[in-house]
């Protein structure tokens, strides 16, 4: 069997998409695992989502006023 430390070092060299595919990690898994990062970057993420919604002509105002309890993830 391939040594774990060498396997880990090799996995670090892969791009994120390939790594997620190999490890069978979904977006939902990432969101659940990194809820603390989402809280830390909430203002930035909100701004980015607003820009994306504007570009795609979505209804951003439906989401801006809603408050979500991200603490319940922990």
- Report residue 45 CA to chain centroid gap: 10
pTM of the model: 0.59
Q: Which residue has the higher pLDDT, 11 or 72?
A: 11
Write the CB contacts of 26 (distance below 8 Å, at least 6 apart in sequence). Answer: 20
Whether the pLDDT of residue 12 is over 60: the answer is yes
What is the spatial distance between Cα 26 and Cα 22, in angstroms, rounded to a whole number? 11
pLDDT in tens, 14-70: 999 999 999 999 999 999 999 999 999 999 999 888 877 776 654 555 555 556 666
- For residue 26, report the phi and psi dihedrals to the nearest 5 degrees: -100, 165
């Amino acid at each position: 069997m391939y040594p774990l430390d060498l396997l880990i070092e090799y996995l670090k060299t892969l791009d994120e998409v390939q790594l997620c595919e190999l490890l069978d990690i979904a977006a939902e898994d990432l969101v659940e695992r990194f809820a603390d990062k989402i809280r830390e970057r909430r203002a930035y993420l909100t701004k980015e989502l607003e820009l994306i919604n504007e570009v795609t002509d979505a209804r951003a105002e439906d989401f801006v006023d809603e408050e979500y309890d991200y603490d319940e993830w922990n």
